[in-house]
C-alpha cells in the first residue's frame, strides 16, 4: 500500500510566500512554482492531489490557470484552493465560478489553512474511493462490468478498427472446489495482472463476472491482436501459483472478433467474440480462436 504523503502544488509569484507555505505544509510533498508555465510542467509529469493558487501572477493569472485546469481531463479532479490578498466579494465569487473549491485570504492563519487543506484532500480521496467502488472491480482492480461497457460504447462509436476479445479461465470451478475461494481469488488477481501488464495503453480490460474477462483493442489489425492475445495466453499458462502442497497452474481460452460494417453495436461485437471463445473451449481450451465474419 502506498503511504507516501499527498502532493501539493503551490503556485505563487512571490518566493517568500512559497517559502512560508512549504514550511507550514511540511507533512506534505510540496512542489512550488512561480508561474503557470512551470505549474503545467509539474502537472505534465507528476500526480498532484491539491493545488494552492495565487490570483495575481505575471503571465497567466490564477483565474485563467484554474479555467485551464478545469478544461483538461487530466487535471479537472484536482481541487484548487485560491490564496490571495484580495478579499472583496466579487473576486471571491469569481474564484468559485472558475472552479476553485475554497478561498483563503492573505495573510492567512496557519491553522485555518492547514484545516482547509486537510478537508479538501479528504474530500478528494473520498470521491476517488467512491469512483473506484462504482467503476473498478474490487478483487482485481481493473474495470468492472459497468465501467467496461461505458468505455466500450465510446470506442465502438469511434473511428478505425476495433477488435474484441472474450476470455475466461479454463476449469476455474475446479480451482475453487479443490483449493477454496481464497486460492481462486488469488488466481483471478494474477491472471488480471498478467493480462494488464501486456496490453497497450489504449486497450480496455474489464472483468465481466466470475472468471470471464473482456478486452477491446482500438485501431489495431486482427493479426497483431491475435499475436498479442496468444502471448498473454502463454504467459498465463507459464504462471506457477505456490500452494502449501505444491504449485498450481492454469490456462485461459480466448475468442477474438473484429468490428465489421454489419456489426450493429458493442453487444453484437462481444457476442461474436464470445462465439469464438466457445469454439476455443470446445476445441481443447488453452487457445485463441479468431472468428472470421464474412464481409
Euclidean distance between CA atoms 236 and 102, whole angstroms: 49
- Spatial separation of the C-alpha atoms in residues 164 and 145, rounded to whole Å: 15
pLDDT digit string, tens, across residues 106-139? 998 999 999 999 999 999 999 888 877 888 999 9
Among 107, 135, 163, the domain-final residue is: 135
**Domain co-membership, 83 together with 111:** yes
For residues 109, 113, 115, 121, the Cα torsion angle rounded to the nearest 10 degrees is: 180
pLDDT of residue 295: 47
Sole residue written with cell 462509436: 157
Confidence label for 280 from pLDDT (cuts 50, 70 and 90): very high
Chain segment 214-271, per-residue pLDDT in tens: 999 997 788 899 999 999 999 999 999 888 888 999 999 999 999 998 899 999 999 9
pTM listed for this prediction: 0.68
Kindly state whether residue 1 falls inside one of the protein's structural domains: no
Grid coordinates belonging to 41: 510542467
Which residues, other chains included, contact 185 with Cβ-Cβ below 8 Å and sequence gap of 6+?
139
CB atoms within 10 A of CB 261: 5
166 and 274 Cβ atoms separated by less than 8 Å: yes
Residue 295 maps to a domain: no
Q: Which residues are catalytic?
A: 211
pLDDT of 293: 52
Asked, for residue 140, whether it belongs to a domain, the answer is no
Asked if 113 and 23 sit in the same domain, the reply is yes
Examine residue 182 and state whether it is found in any structural domain, yes or no.
yes
Residues 194 and 270 in one domain: yes
pLDDT at 112: 94
**Beta-strand relationship, 162-169 and 212-218:** antiparallel
The pLDDT tens digits of the residues spanning 13-57 come to: 999 999 999 999 999 999 999 999 999 999 999 999 999 999 998
Query: What digits encode the pLDDT tens for the residues 178-216?
Result: 999 999 999 999 999 999 999 999 999 999 999 999 999
CA 44 – CA 33 distance, rounded (Å)? 14
Q: Output the CA–CA distances (angstroms, integers) from residue 88 to 65, 105, 116, 293, in the order listed.
A: 20, 10, 20, 67
Residue span of the structural domain in which 269 resides = 145-290
N-terminal to C-terminal alpha carbon distance within the chain: 49
170, 227: one domain: yes
CATH label of the domain that carries residue 187: 3.30.70.270
Query: Looking at residue 42, which CATH number applies to its domain?
Result: 3.40.50.2300
Three-state DSSP class for residue 103: strand
**69 lies in some domain:** yes
How many independent structural domains does the chain possess?
A: 2
- Cβ count within 10 A of residue 65: 24
| 247 is a domain residue | yes
pLDDT of residue 245: 82
Kindly state whether residue 43 falls inside one of the protein's structural domains. Answer: yes
The residue length of the chain stands at 295
Amino acid at each position: 500500500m502506498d503511504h507516501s504523503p499527498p502532493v501539493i502544488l503551490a503556485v505563487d509569484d512571490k518566493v517568500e510566500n512559497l517559502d512560508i507555505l512549504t514550511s507550514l505544509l511540511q507533512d506534505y510533498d510540496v512542489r512550488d512554482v512561480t508561474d503557470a508555465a512551470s505549474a503545467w510542467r509539474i502537472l505534465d509529469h507528476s500526480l498532484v492531489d491539491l493545488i494552492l493558487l495565487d490570483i495575481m501572477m505575471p503571465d497567466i493569472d490564477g483565474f485563467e490557470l484554474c479555467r485551464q485546469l478545469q478544461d483538461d481531463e487530466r487535471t479537472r479532479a484536482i481541487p484548487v484552493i485560491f490564496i490571495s490578498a484580495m478579499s472583496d466579494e466579487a473576486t471571491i465569487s469569481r474564484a468559485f465560478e472558475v472552479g476553485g473549491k475554497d478561498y483563503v485570504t492573505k495573510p492567512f492563519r496557519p491553522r485555518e489553512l492547514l484545516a482547509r487543506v486537510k478537508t479538501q484532500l479528504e474530500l478528494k480521496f473520498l470521491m476517488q474511493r467512491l469512483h473506484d467502488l462504482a467503476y473498478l472491480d474490487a478483487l482485481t482492480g481493473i474495470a468492472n462490468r459497468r465501467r467496461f461497457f461505458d468505455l466500450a460504447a465510446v470506442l465502438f462509436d469511434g473511428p478505425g478498427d476495433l477488435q474484441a476479445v472474450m476470455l475466461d479461465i479454463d476449469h476455474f470451478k475446479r480451482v475453487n472446489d479443490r483449493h477454496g475461494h481464497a486460492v481462486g481469488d488469488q488466481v483471478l488477481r494474477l491472471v488480471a495482472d498478467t493480462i494488464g501488464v501486456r496490453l497497450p495503453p489504449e486497450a480496455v480490460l474489464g472483468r465481466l463476472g466470475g472468471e470471464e474477462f473482456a478486452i477491446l483493442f482500438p485501431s489495431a489489425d486482427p493479426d497483431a491482436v491475435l499475436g498479442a492475445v496468444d502471448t498473454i495466453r502463454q504467459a498465463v499458462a507459464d504462471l506457477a501459483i505456490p500452494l502449501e502442497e505444491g504449485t498450481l497452474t492454469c490456462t485461459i481460452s480466448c475468442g477474438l472478433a473484429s468490428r465489421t460494417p454489419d456489426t450493429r453495436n458493442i453487444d453484437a461485437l462481444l457476442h461474436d467474440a464470445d462465439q469464438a471463445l466457445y469454439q476455443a473451449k470446445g476445441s481443447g481450451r488453452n487457445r485463441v480462436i479468431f472468428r472470421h465474419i464474412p464481409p
